[in-house]
A and B are shown apart, each in its own frame.
Chain A
Amino acid sequence: KQEVTQIPAALSVPEGENLVLNCSFTDSAIYNLQWFRQDPGKGLTSLLLIQSSQREQTSGRLNASLDKSSGRSTLYIAASQPGDSATYLCAVSTGLQGAQKLVFGQGTRLTINP
């Protein structure tokens, strides 16, 4: 059974710092890995998707890496801003016959202090 773990559960940093969020998964047989952002009481916003054959993806100040063999992914946020405060969720895509159902970690609650 695929399990996804995110460390740390919560993180508080001053504005302007670069930071790294970690995600690990137990089964390397994944189709892709997706990072999401969730604001309180809201749905999920997709940030980045890394296909299983890729090593990293970048979007603006965000960079996500994937090491499938070791079951790890990181989300790097550069020059953090108060507007980055949210919960960040990592999810791996699994399932027979390309079902692509997502298995999520519990998330990292990020607070950027002005």
Chain B
Amino acid sequence: DTGVSQDPRHKITKRGQNVTFRCDPISEHNRLYWYRQTLGQGPEFLTYFQNEAQLEKSRLLSDRFSAERPKGSFSTLEIQRTEQGDSAMYLCAIILAADTQYFGPGTRLTVL
């Protein structure tokens, strides 16, 4: 148990639909990160939060993507008007002791 849960674990949707993913750390952590991983590749940074503030967004995060972290606890990642190229594993991570990033199990998105 890494201390991070993600919901749902799998999501299948049709192109053009909106989807929302949730990341829940078991306890409060200042920093929360989102990454995206496509098949056979390493994860790529999308965005991160320091408490409620979204401090950086990757160029990968088009205007169809939005992330929030109300009250500095859980976080949501929404994709509007999904495209087939959005199919990937979406990973959430937090920093625990000694700068180590701990990842949740991920949400696998399939866009048909």
Contacts and interface: CB of A to CB of B under 8 A. Distances in A.
Interface stretch (B64-72, B75-83, B101-109): B101-109
Nearest to A94: B45
Interface residues of A, number: 26
Query: Interface residues of A: mostly helix, strand, loop or mixed?
Result: strand
Most B Cβ at <10 Å: residue of A100, A101, A106:
A101
A93 B99 contact: yes
Given A91-B42, A106-B41, A49 B104 contact: no
Interface stretch (A11-19, A38-46, A60-68, A73-81): A38-46
B95 to A, nearest CB: 7
A51 B98 CA distance: 9
A107 B101 contact: no
Question: Which among A32, A103, A104 has the highest number of chain B CB atoms within 10 Å?
Answer: A104
